[in-house]
Amino acid sequence: MTNFSPPPGSSTSSARPSRATRKSPPAVVEAPSPEPDNTDDAAAALRELISVYLKPADLEKVDAALEMASAAHEGQFRQSGEPYITHPLAVAKILARWHLDAQALIAALLHDVVEDTPTTKADIAKKFGKAVAELVDGVSKLDKLQFATLEEAQAENFRKMLLAMARDVRVILIKLADRLHNMRTLDAVPQAKRERVAKETLEIYSPIANRLGLNGLYYEFEDLGFKYLHPHRFSVLDKAVKAARGNRREVVGKILESITSRLKEFKVEASVSGREKYLSSIYKKMQEKHISFSEVLDIYGFRIIVLDVASCYLALGALHTLYKPFPGKFKDYIAIPKANGYQSLHTTLFGPYGTPVELQIRTVDMHKIAEAGVASHWMYKTLDADEGHLSDMQQKTHQWLQSLLEIQSGSGDALEFLEHIKVDLFPDEVYVFSPKGKIHSLRKGSTPIDFAYAIHSDIGNRAVAARINDESVPLSTRLKNGDRIEIITDDAGRPNPAWLNYAVTGRARSHIRHYLKTMQQTESVELGELLLIQAVRSLNFAPNDIGKIHWSRLLKGDHAKTKEQVLSEIGLGKRLAIVAARKLFELSELVSPEHKQRDSIIIRGSEDMAVQFAPCCRPIPGDPILAQIKGGQGLVIHTHDCPAIHPFKFDPEKWVDVQWDPGIDRFFNVDIRITVSDRRGVLAKLAAEIAAADSNIAHVHMGDPNSTADQKYATLQFTLEVKHRMHLAQVMRQLRHMQEVVRITRVKSGASKEHKSRNE
């Protein structure tokens, strides 16, 4: 086995070259070079890479890690037939190209030993330290745990890995390198697994690479995923691109020569290079625009690297005098960098023969970040001049990693957590401004709700309205690039379940769900306690009679583990209060005391999550009411004469006596139907009278315009906001005084079917 230690007699006084002589590292992920034929050659290739920047003491530690990994994987082989040790060596080699530190390289060499060999995390910690052991553990799967489905197992593994990444980003860099080598060698595995791994890579690992600014890695993942998910399409497109190279070589050469000449005329020092677009990018363009390969003219792009920011804009101006720019195809990622720290000027020009010419203009430092992304923190950290330049990117990455922890705290399970993460990994972004001019990048399709939660969870939870560019807009409005957003909050504000229909960022959705679950839990426990007290009193016991011994008796052998869980299930209608009361006092159905009249539950109207008002009868204060215990919904309030209370389906144990709180003060929805003379302006008059009666129109539905009924009259159905029956009576009395009103009635059997269907 080849050692990593420097040979005797070699100069080791300066492991890192001076800034004057040090060469820039290669691009982060170049076209994969052939792997060495045997383990010794692979180890030698790795040594050559890391000896450039690691200290001698670190080289010795990497050497020891390789010995440990080789011993642990002795006798193990990959599906290709190669010794298994070739895989961790290849992963370490990828990380070495990123100039990662010794701890990351050691963890890469040992990343599979905990999963696949008797070696434990404690063994690694003892030999290489706790930091290395944590890195290995972060990459390792949860193989020791049992999961109901493969999807659940994958989701839990992703959650473990991403949370470890939030603590140390090197975890994901090791995992990305691991996945890259697996994708490069995917030919050796069965087709079903190839497709599963390729799909998983495109859904998770490729977007993460993009989010971390690892552009080269992102595009290689995209191409490899395309290759294994659509092998025939990949092969056909690959042959077409190779054939087109010869046909378009003359055009590309002419464009390169013209660009170089024009930049010299404007005295811009620059290196210009042409690049062929990735097959996956070409394929996506063909799909999106529904065109054939022959219609894709821009399979080549050009990259211009200049000395400083001023030269970027000077080069842009020079090239816009060479070829005319496409309208709307210019993007300034220097002034407004992408969330992953990427900076560049993008423009598309009308080239010779009508060929679109795509240009990227950036500085040397911007190019380093574009290639290395978050890995550039290690790759270039000895260059003092770069430190300040990289700080923004590192800060944004840190903020994103911290948001993973916030999303985790608001997610119920691994599948929900993974859903939120997938949402935030989409590359399309919209850039908006706060009232003070601070730039925020959000996922495309975001709304003011997403913006509010991006600022702070408290702002999101208390949001009641929004202003975009000084105009009031609904909270569901889609944001556009350049919008200036102001969120109006109220201390009484709270998240609305409807927000989940248009909030798109993982952070916003996670916080909304977490708040709603917490509120539902709190309110259902309170309601459950009231229902249990009512049931206990009906059994001739006092609530104070319930002690710890009674709760211990109920919980023994029950699926619920706590008193709060039992009360929550009662409040949500998942278990009957009377059954729980009998269990508490060990009463059987056969022998029980005489029931006495149960107390009524007081309805305050503020129990949003645990108490709902039935849409079939829309009860309002003043109506005689009864409540049904409905599984998963808690109490559903109906009027006494609601058709839903069917005498043949009436189960006394599932219905509860309730009464309105006399001090209730809020608005309730109620439906009324009005028949009016069909005259001009009648709707405006009705609205004015309703407003004058201190009510508000929540919804209005006109009668069928194609109806064959008498056209002299029209029927309108309003959903009004009123405080109680007296208030409703006042509104109806005021409307009856209008000459146009022929008939007015309250709709107590629910809204019309047409009205209902339009709102579902």
The domain 668-759 is placed in CATH, from the list 3.30.70.260, 3.40.50.150, 3.40.50.300, 1.10.260.40, at: 3.30.70.260
Residue 183, H or E segment = helix 170-184
Per-residue pLDDT reduced to its tens digit, 114-145: 888 888 889 999 999 998 998 888 777 544 44
Mean pLDDT of the chain: 77
pLDDT tens readout for residues 240-255: 888 776 666 777 788 8
CATH numeric code, 233-380: 3.30.460.10
Give the highest mean pLDDT range of 197-211, 447-461, 530-544, 698-712: 447-461
Residue 396 has pLDDT above 80, yes or no: no
pLDDT at 310: 94
Task: Identify the pLDDT of residue 712.
Answer: 82
Q: What radius of gyration, in Å, describes the C-alpha atoms of the chain?
A: 34
For residue 215, pLDDT beyond 70: yes
Domain ranges of the chain: 39-229, 233-380, 514-660, 668-759
Q: What is the pTM of this model?
A: 0.55
Residue 7 has pLDDT above 90, yes or no: no
406 to 1, 327, 410, 427: CA distances (angstroms): 46, 41, 7, 20
Active site residues: 115-116
Domain 39-229 belongs to what topology? Answer: Hypothetical protein af1432 (1.10.3210)
Pick 5 or 696 by higher pLDDT: 696
The tens digit of pLDDT for each residue in 275-290 reads 777 888 888 888 877 8
pLDDT band at 319 (very low <50, low <70, confident <90, very high): very high
Average pLDDT over residues 603-620: 74
Q: Report the range of poorest mean pLDDT among 37-41, 160-164, 346-350, 418-422.
A: 418-422
Lowest mean per-residue pLDDT among 102-116, 445-459, 601-615: 601-615
End-to-end CA distance of the chain: 69
Q: How confident is the model at residue 397 (pLDDT cuts 50, 70, 90)?
A: low
Higher pLDDT, residue 393 or 541: 541
The model's pLDDT over 656-706, given as tens digits with 9 standing for 90+, comes to 778 888 888 888 889 999 999 888 888 888 988 998 898 988 888 876 544
CB atoms within 10 A of CB 464: 14
For the stretch 544-578, pLDDT in tens is 878 888 888 788 777 778 888 888 877 776 777 77
Token pair of 140 as six digits? 């390792």
**pLDDT greater at residue 387 or residue 296:** 296
- Of 726, 521, 531, 524, give the one whose Cα is nearest residue 623: 726
Confidence of residue 66 (pLDDT cuts 50, 70, 90): very high
- Kindly report the three-state secondary structure assignment for every residue of 430-494: EEEECCCCCEEEEECCCCHHHHHHHHCHHHHHCEEEEEECCEEECCCCCCCCCCEEEEEECCCCC
Task: Look up tokens 């390169």; give the residue.
Answer: 256
